[in-house]
Structure 1
């Protein structure tokens, strides 16, 4: 139940962003991607989980449980929640275990983005080396199809900010390759290059979102009336569950 509440709380933030006139669907999709990565990671930690896909979890725990009908109804007043979820079917139908493997790697990309902004070169290289290690771990699994589905769910367009963020991530990856070459066996560069491009484009989108979300917070999105309204609804649900 805590995971479900956390998921709905993040959804509420996601739709607050979607209502701002300065933001578009691409930004919302990227936020939603990170929500799903987090959710899959948390669900995968549950022993004996009966769901294999995020869509199964959403259908049973949110849509059909009856506990969150008020949240869904109130969300629909501001956005087409069901329509948005329907557009994410490719992402939601990825196996939870496969999707969860991207979470740790995405955190490293996020950390690199922050370190680059702070000009902390050493920390950035350490994060980059850890990312290469995590990538090699992912590379032992059949994750290319999963990465392609994640990319398809984004449909992001190029912008100066995204180009800058992606270039920063790619630069860090190049530096990390140098570290990795000194600390581990050499892997086929062409094979890694082709696969890593697909994976990095996913994490580049996440890094891009971190930049815009920080700027968005500076403009006081926490004061939005719709957001406050939905937060109160989730709070009421939690209070009823605790009694």
Structure 2
């Protein structure tokens, strides 16, 4: 499915470049408009982005034969389409206008074109649910969308340039290394496992692993592909808190286990009574530190004499 998606995006990148030309979008193929608009072309910037994004959803996710969205696992691809959508809209953002919200308010929420175009596949509400669940969250929750977009393009470059007839893995390994470098930057910028950010990282990771598996299955002598970083206990904020708590709990335990008392008694009699000398040694062992504390106690008691 990722292979099919990347081929569709390859068409989009050719016909609708992700760089502005003198401050304007350049859409070179009016065929995208036909999938959404029945009586007009995509004349303005928002209409252009609207038509292409709708085409992507339609080509990648919808199954016209069953009038349903394709397999549930493919819903992950919505993240990629929305990343592209937000990136394209932000190309023309200014300080006064959030083009993502402008796009939603002007093109999706009230647009009769969507209602008419989606009718033959599945309900308008289903499409709205997809947009609502992803577009709002990703627009507000992911600040470095351009880095995600760049990593996603790197992923598709690997898939689009894969050639089963070429048994040499050198090009695949080179593309994989570039992808991993971009992924590592995103991974290191993340500060929690429980987030939309981490969810998208997981999707990217799965698609990368599938690509590597495909290389090993179809080619020979591929060597070792670079591995993606993974979360460990020490890198998780939640687990770090647990570790810190454990240290504070463990210290008294160390003290308790390492507690050692050396009992010495020396009795000395004098005219008024006996004196006893006790020495208590506490040995505290903390990794890297040994603390020895000697405490001397002197007790005295009167001797009762028979008068």
TM-score by length of 1: 0.53
Matched residue, 1:175: 225
Aligned twin of 2:81: 35
Instruction: Describe how 1:1-243 pairs up with structure 2 within 5 A.
Output: 1=46, 2-14=48-60, 17-21=62-66, 24-26=70-72, 28-48=74-94, 50-51=97-98, 56-64=101-109, 68-87=111-130, 89-92=132-135, 93-95=137-139, 97-118=143-164, 119-142=167-190, 145-150=195-200, 164-165=210-211, 167-168=213-214, 175-177=225-227, 192-194=229-231
Kindly indicate which of the two structures has a greater share of residues assigned to helix: 1
User: Relative contact order (C-alpha < 8 Å, sep 6+): which is higher?
Assistant: 1
Structure 1 CA distance for aligned equivalents of residues 148 and 50 of structure 2: 20
Give the distance between the partners of 2:108 and 2:69, measured in 1 at CA: 27
| Contact map agreement 2:114 2:124 (CA 8 A) in 1 | no
Deviations 1:93-127 (A, max 9, x none): 11364444222212222222344443441111111
TM-fit CA distance, 1:164: 5.0
Unaligned runs of 5+ in 2: 1-45, 233-307
- How many residue pairs match? The answer is 171
Cα 1:97–1:35 shift into 2, 3 Å:
same
Unmatched segments (≥5 aa) in structure 1:
178-188, 196-243
In 2, are the aligned partners of 1:72 and 1:81 still within 8 Å (CA)? Answer: yes
Higher Cα Rg: structure 1 or 2?
2
Secondary structure (helix, strand or coil) at the match of 2:138 reads coil
Q: Which structure has the highest strand share of the two?
A: 2
CA-CA distance at 1:73 after TM superposition: 2.9
